[in-house]
Amino acid sequence: MNINRLIKKINPQQVITISSPLLLLLLWEICSNTGVLDARFFPPPTLIIQTMFSLGESGELFSHISISLTRILLGFLLGVIPAICIGLLMGMYKYFRHFFSPIVMIFMPIPTLAMLPIILILFGIGEFSKMITIAISVFFPVVINTAAGVANIDRIYLDVAKNYQANAKDFFLKIALPGALPVMLEGIQMGQAIALLTIVAAEMIGATSGIGYLIWMNYKAFLLPEMYVGLILISFFGYLFSLLLRGLERKLLPWK
């Protein structure tokens, strides 16, 4: 009776969604245990999980995680907030747009990691330089999407605002900001993905802590299960962040 009800509750779509990663892990486990895959390079998932728990017990793992997350979060905010402000100004005022867009276009194609030496020279090897690195990489997709979001608001809403005598402040809060929000949030999603990529790479190059450092050090020491723990953590947080942002999107855009 209870089992029947449980079976009825299960949504076939969800089953399929969960089944593919599970299948992949299972295949990996089997291949690596039977020697189809070299277990030195591809340790079985069960071993990786065991390693994760033992790293967790020593507390070392959590300090790496919290260091990376702090860098991501602060760096993200450091990039997103000015990007939104400048993007809105660029979208709303054509002089701002003409002024800022060449600067954005010049710096955008340079991979942030290629600027890392300069960032290290300017800001030293402390925490701040890592946050700046993330901030820069997040800045571009957000600024471009925000400006595009404002510029793409249907003209008719601008006419409505003007006809109904909206002042500058009301226009900004009731038309420009909410109208740009959907495209802006897409930019923030992109920025979030780039922030993760950047932090790992930045920590590999110039850090003594964090998830990227964990991956790189363990690779150099040939402790591959430990390295895989780092990779799994990255994947987990990437997924978590995009779920959180999607939740935020649903909250902020009930009208979509």
Partner 1 sequence: MSKIEIRELSKRFDKGKKHIEALQNIDLTVSQGEFVCILGPSGCGKTTLLRILANLEKPSKGKVTIHSKHNSQQPIQSMVFQENGVIPWLTVEENVAFGLKMRHTPEKFTKKQTEYYISKVGLADFRKLYPKELSGGMKQRVSIARAFANDPEILLMDEPFAALDEQNKFILQEELLNIWQETRKTVLFITHSIDEALLLSDRILLMSAQPGKIVKDIRLNIPRPRTIEQVRSKPEITRIFLEIWEHLQHEVKQTRLIKTAMEE
Shortest distance in whole angstroms from residue 250 CB to partner 1:
13
Q: Which of 161, 194, 207, 215 binds partner 1 (CB under 8 A)?
A: 161
What character string, x for contact with partner 1 (CB under 8 A) and - otherwise, covers 180-219?
-x--------------------------------------
Instruction: Rule CB under 8 A: say whether 159 interacts with partner 1.
Output: yes
For residue 107 the two structure tokens come to 């710096």
- For partner 1, the closer of residues 14 and 165 by Cβ is 165
Instruction: Rule CB under 8 A: say whether 8 interacts with partner 1.
Output: no
Helix axes 12-34, 45-58, angle to 10 degrees: 90
Shortest distance in whole angstroms from residue 160 CB to partner 1:
6
Query: Rounded CA gap, 67 and 73, in Å?
Result: 10
Instruction: Report the 10 Å Cβ neighbour count for 187.
Output: 25
Q: Which of 20, 58, 167, 208 binds partner 1 (CB under 8 A)?
A: 167
Instruction: Rule CB under 8 A: say whether 162 interacts with partner 1.
Output: yes
Q: Which of 96, 128, 157, 219 binds partner 1 (CB under 8 A)?
A: 157
Instruction: Report the 10 Å Cβ neighbour count for 63.
Output: 12
Instruction: Rule CB under 8 A: say whether 84 interacts with partner 1.
Output: no
Burial class (CB in 10 A: 0-12, 13-18, 19+), 133: buried
Instruction: Rule CB under 8 A: say whether 95 interacts with partner 1.
Output: no
- For partner 1, the closer of residues 120 and 184 by Cβ is 184
**Cβ 137 vs Cβ 195: under 8 Å:** yes
Instruction: Rule CB under 8 A: say whether 151 interacts with partner 1.
Output: no
* Nearest CA among 215, 213, 195, 194 for reference residue 205: 213
**Cβ 200 vs Cβ 112: under 8 Å:** no
* Nearest CA among 33, 80, 51 for reference residue 241: 80
Instruction: Rule CB under 8 A: say whether 254 interacts with partner 1.
Output: yes
- For partner 1, the closer of residues 166 and 205 by Cβ is 166
* Nearest CA among 78, 81, 148, 137 for reference residue 109: 137
How many positions of this chain bind partner 1 (CB under 8 A)? 22
Write out the residues near partner 1 by the rule CB under 8 A. Answer: 154, 156-157, 159-167, 170, 174-175, 178-179, 181, 253-256
